[in-house]
Amino acid sequence: MTSTAAVLPDPDQIAALRAFAERLARSAGALVRDGRPDRVDVAATKSSEVDPVTAMDLASEAHLRALIAEHRPQDGILGEEDGLLPGSSGLTWVLDPIDGTVNYLYGIPAYAISVGLVAGEPDPAHWTPVAGAVHAVSSGVTYTAGHGLGATRDGQPLRVNAARPLATSLVGTGFGYTVERRTAQARVLAELLPRVRDIRRIGSAALDLCRIAEGSLDVYFERGLNPWDLAAGQLIVREAGGVVTGLRGAAAGLAMTVAGPARTVDELSDALAGWHADQDG
């Protein structure tokens, strides 16, 4: 499908959309924080028995969808739990109602509400990120970005780290939920671990990407990211001076996402391509 060039809102509109994205993320964050029961139960599973959905994932997405329907009824919505609702404005909100669901389930304070807004086809290979907000529920810290407007953490400007050799880089990553995917990822990890400073597996792609933007990780890669994992964090990294890409010139997305300063991303991407890290075989 050839994608027509997306029409971007003007800078004032982008600033207003960024503020609304932050309002959405913080509002859903309050729901998730204040409504967390003492014991969180799994409501359903998705790709495997260890890929959970909780009642709060569903409630958070319903809350986000209701606010968007009230304030931006002409926009589309793509959510992790309820899929795509096409709009007429050319803009689509891309929602992860709880990114880091397993951490939420276990009470590990590393989960976030990720709200992205994209122009054009809501597909990472074709979209143009417009605005984004990632709200870390436990700490209350909120990362935002607007296209061409920079990226901030609680209003303070963000900048990725200067590029450094992979051998002295702190590398973030994550793993899928199926045995086949995990087996392939373990093979790649065994190759990579001796070649880097260290590895961190935080359990939330959105927070991993925000850590790249703030410099608390040097570089990040993960195979298997869905559009909702990526939409907000991708813009936050780019507006903080980083790059977010796939391997061999591909766009970031399900096959592979690599994020960080350009030269470090290039070195890691070359290594990952050599290990066929974007394949499960």
**Which active-site residues does the annotation give?**
80, 96, 98-99, 101, 229
Tokens of 15: 């600033």
Per the document, the length of the chain is 281
Stretch that binds ligand LIP, among 3-11, 96-104, 160-168, 191-199 (CB under 6 A): 96-104
Determine the Cα–Cα distance for residues 262 and 274; give it in Å rounded to an integer. Answer: 18
Q: Is 100 in the site for ligand LIP (CB under 6 A)?
A: yes
Binding residue (CB under 6 A) for ligand LIP from 22, 81, 214, 222: 222
| CB-nearest residue to ligand LIP | 174
138 touches ligand LIP (CB under 6 A):
no
Residue in the structure block whose two tokens are 């199926």: 178
Rounded least distance, CB 98 to ligand LIP, Å: 6
Q: 31 in helix, strand or coil?
A: helix
Structure tokens at 16: 């207003």
CA dihedral 134, 137, 139, 145 (to 10 degrees): 10
| Least distance (Å) between residue 262 CB and ligand LIP | 22
Phi, psi of 116 (to 5 degrees): -110, 155
Question: CB-wise, 101 or 264, nearer to ligand LIP?
Answer: 101
Calculate the dihedral angle through the C-alpha atoms of 55, 59, 65, 69, rounding to the nearest 10 degrees: 140
| Footprint (CB under 6 A) of ligand LIP, residues 175-204 | 175, 203-204
Report H helices in the chain.
Answer: 11-34, 55-71, 101-106, 179-192, 205-214, 227-239, 262-274
214 is a contact residue toward ligand LIP (CB under 6 A): no
Token pair for 33: 């924080």
229 sits near ligand LIP (criterion: CB under 6 A):
yes
Only segment of 95-103, 135-143, 210-218, 230-238 that touches ligand LIP (CB under 6 A):
95-103
Q: How far is the CB of 73 from ligand LIP (least distance, A)?
A: 26
Q: Are 266 and 216 in contact (CB under 8 A)?
A: no
- Type of residue at 158: L
When asked if residue 99 is in the footprint of ligand LIP (CB under 6 A), the reply is yes
Cβ–Cβ under 8 Å, residues 174 and 205: yes
Q: Which is nearer to ligand LIP, 163 or 205 (CB)?
A: 205
Out of 76, 90, 129, 174, point to the residue binding ligand LIP (CB under 6 A). Answer: 174
- Closer to ligand LIP by CB, 214 or 229: give it: 229
* Among the residue ranges 3-11, 92-100, 181-189, 258-266, the one whose residues contact ligand LIP (CB under 6 A): 92-100
d(CA 208, CA 252) in angstroms, rounded, equals 15
- Residues forming contacts to ligand LIP in the complex (CB under 6 A) are 80, 96, 99-101, 174-175, 203-205, 222, 229
